[in-house]
A and B are shown apart, each in its own frame.
Chain A
Amino acid sequence: MPIPFASMDRMNWNTKAIDRADRLARARHALGRRLLGKQVATDAVGALLEATLQPGDRVCLEGNNQKQADFLARALVQVDPQRVHDLHMVQSVLALPEHLDIFENGVARRLDFSFSGPQGARLAKLVSAKRIEIGAIHTYLELFARYFVDLTPKVALVAAQAADAEGNLYTGPNTEDTPAIVEATAFSGGIVIAQVNELVDAGTTSLPRIDVPAGWVDFVVRAPKPNVIEPLFTRDPAQIGEVQVLMAMMAIQGIYAEYGVQRLNHGIGFDTAAIELLLPTYGESLGLKGKICRHWALNPHPALIPAIEAGWVESVHSFGSELGMEDYIRARSDVFFTGADGSLRSNRAFCQAAGHYACDLFIGSTLQMDLDGNSSTATLGRITGFGGAPNMGADARGRRHASAAWLKAGQQARTGRGGAAGTPRGQKLVVQMVETFREHMQPAFVERLDAWTLQEQAGMDLPPIMIYGDDVTHVLTEEGIANLLLCRSDAEREQAIRGVAGYTAVGLARDRRMVENLRDRGIIRRPQDMGIDPRDATRNLLAARSMRDLVRASHGLYAPPKRFRHW
């Protein structure tokens, strides 16, 4: 009996196309001579938004990890809430105050996002005051994927470096999230509006390259001043301490060399910067060049310059670029993904995919870890979201291609187990690297994560755990490395974690006998067990100890932003 096909008498299969045409017509009508082809006069941006947006639209406003469509964000805040309201915002990062202002004036109501770092406290207040309805908090790759399933933007407000008369866009080094957003919007009958820093008139000059073809772009507007880009991945080597150098020595010797890690991703932080700066010195002394760290999925970290110059690095693919690295990248196109014009081509969606499936190791830091190995950067009174870390800090269950590191980790995890859990397969190395005490003597190891309290406060379905304990393979602190892959019981896991939790309450409550046993079995390894004398852990081991050393290492090609130039 055929299933009644309710929409049989549906008259029209191209309602989206019609709706799109109506919006474009409304824009042409509203702007008149202030619209020349696709180019909108800067002061007509408000009229453009009010003409193209409709209440309840799902809108993606580019708040990337670094690049911000700040001009369009300010314009959106000023639209008439009577005409444009109850928008459903979908965006990677809530980086600017304007990103939350639109919820306070009623222009927007619902939100799906990934990371809200600086705005975490204000977001929590707006949520508890019922001014924002959160759809869900995603990692970047999940959100981009949902753009192609059930969170497809109707209107995309993006940022690019330059556009030509036809509307081709050059997004420059910080392409970041733009490709995924524009593709989802343009091919679903949506409207793409791009703010640009430069309009290139096709007669005399042309774009360095075309990153987004004109066919995918409906409107282009020149912003009064260049869009905001935050240098998030710059760490001043002068702030790296001797304890971080000690931990970096252990990471290189006890994990990278131990597993032969060739493809990896580094989270941002001084701990990982210390590892990058120890490769050409400490790594060299162990004869590891060529044996580890040849292929990277990470932004152009200035701290990686000495390792690149010493021939350690074969390839780097990036989520986004880093201010000041432009000339260096151009001169090192063998290593970085660059266009024919020489500037970087970053792509957050592809780099997140590479970090998840192509890399053998993720290493990052955290604020708190519990006795199951769960960790979180959630802090009370703030909703900060996840960003990219959980995607890379997880075992890619779908992976099938083998590598030495992946196989070794899998073998260590499964030896001696039976049944499904014992079936041979590989495993992603997920390393949590943290000093036992953070500043102000806050312990990094706790019995119960704040994430549980935050779940109750914000009414979340799950506690916002950043990296789950059963994905963590190693915990690295100044006291040593705990290899959770080799643990065969929850009790062993707990003591392995307590065994590296130092003098925190969690560490002091260790079962000393059991910890010694775990050390005998190599599950816990102290610096001495890896031939490392903590007194050798001095800043002299760093291949660069100041921003100027990095500029020197780059032969003057790296030009740090003003706030980092101490000379």
Chain B
Amino acid sequence: MKDIAPGLETLEYVFPGERPAGDFAPVLAGVVGSGNLEVLVEPAPGSDCSIRIETSARGFGGIWEAVVRDFHARHPLAGVRVSINDMGATPAVVSLRLDQAVSELTP
């Protein structure tokens, strides 16, 4: 049993945005509890939507990519930075949390 610390997995994705999000107060949704995640959405320079994930559930990069790709398809925002701390949330909960955070973006 390799006994090095399991460590977190960090994943990063960038998508070209279409709809400028403009300036808004950072929004936090969710809580880093077991099977849950927190999502922080902040304004960012440029026209991309960058997504950074730190997760204790290792080895699900393919699924994360599919989930965030569909999220960006639903909300093609430009100029936003999404940061996630995840403790093993299922794709259903991740998508729900992302949609919740975006719905609270008030300029």
Contact = CB atoms under 8 A, between A and B. Distances in A.
Classify A-B as touching or not with yes or no (CB < 8 A).
yes
Interface of A: 241-243, 246, 435-437, 439-441, 478-479, 502-503, 508, 534-535, 537
Interface in B40-81: 57, 60, 62-63, 66-67
16 contacts: A241-B93, A242-B96, A246-B92, A246-B96, A436-B92, A437-B90, A437-B92, A439-B35, A441-B57, A478-B92, A479-B92, A503-B91, A534-B95, A534-B99, A535-B96, A537-B96
A441 to B, nearest CB: 6
Given A436-B90, A436-B91, A478-B92, A441 B60 contact: yes
Interface in B75-107: 88, 90-93, 95-96, 99-100, 103
Contacts of B62: 508
A537 B92 CA distance: 12
A436 B93 CA distance: 11
Given A439-B35, A441-B57, A508-B66, A502 B92 contact: yes
B92 A535 contact: no
B91 A535 contact: no
A435 B94 CA distance: 13
Nearest to A508: B66
Given A242-B93, A246-B92, 16 more contacts: A243-B93, A246-B96, A437-B90, A439-B35, A441-B57, A441-B60, A441-B88, A502-B91, A502-B92, A503-B63, A508-B62, A508-B63, A508-B66, A534-B95, A535-B96, A537-B96
Most chain-A CB neighbours within 10 Å: which of B63, B66, B90, B93?
B90
Given A503-B63, A503-B67, A508-B66, A437 B91 contact: yes
B88 A535 contact: no
Contacts of A241: 93
In the A-B complex, the 8 residue pairs with the smallest Cβ-Cβ separation, listed nearest first, are A478-B92, A437-B90, A503-B91, A243-B92, A503-B63, A503-B66, A534-B96, A502-B91
Contacts of A439: 35
A141 B95 CA distance: 42
Tell me whether chain B's interface is mostly helix, strand or loop, or mixed: helix
A29 to B, nearest CB: 63
B90 A243 contact: yes
A440 B89 CA distance: 9
Contacts of B67: 503
A534 B70 CA distance: 15
B102 to A, nearest CB: 10
A528 to B, nearest CB: 11
A243 B57 CA distance: 19
Interface of B: 35, 57, 60, 62-63, 66-67, 88, 90-93, 95-96, 99-100, 103
Nearest to A439: B35
Contacts of A535: 96, 99-100, 103
A441 B96 contact: no
Contacts of A441: 57, 60, 88, 90
Contacts of B35: 439
A439 B95 CA distance: 17
Contacts of A440: 88
B96 to A, nearest CB: 6
Contacts of A243: 90, 92-93, 96
A530 B35 CA distance: 27
Contacts of B88: 440-441
Nearest to A503: B91
Residue among A440, A441, A535 with the highest chain B CB neighbour number at 10 A: A441
A534 B92 CA distance: 10
A508 B69 CA distance: 13
A435 B90 contact: yes
A468 B43 CA distance: 51
A137 to B, nearest CB: 32
Contacts of B103: 535
A436 B60 CA distance: 15
Contacts of A502: 91-92
Contacts of A508: 62-63, 66
A435 B96 CA distance: 14
Contacts of A503: 63, 66-67, 91
Nearest to B95: A534
Nearest to B67: A503
Contacts of B66: 503, 508
A437 B35 CA distance: 11
Contacts of B90: 243, 435-437, 441
A60 B51 CA distance: 61
A502 B90 CA distance: 10
Nearest to A537: B96
A241 B35 CA distance: 10
A503 B93 CA distance: 12
A241 B96 CA distance: 12
Contacts of A435: 90, 92
Nearest to B100: A535
A436 B67 CA distance: 13
Contacts of B92: 243, 246, 435-437, 478-479, 502
A437 B66 CA distance: 15
A243 B63 CA distance: 18
Contacts of A246: 92, 96
B76 to A, nearest CB: 17
Nearest to A438: B90
A502 B91 CA distance: 8
A476 to B, nearest CB: 13
B11 to A, nearest CB: 14
B89 to A, nearest CB: 9
A242 B63 CA distance: 21
Nearest to B66: A503
B72 to A, nearest CB: 15
Nearest to A244: B92
Contacts of B63: 503, 508
A364 to B, nearest CB: 19
A246 B35 CA distance: 17
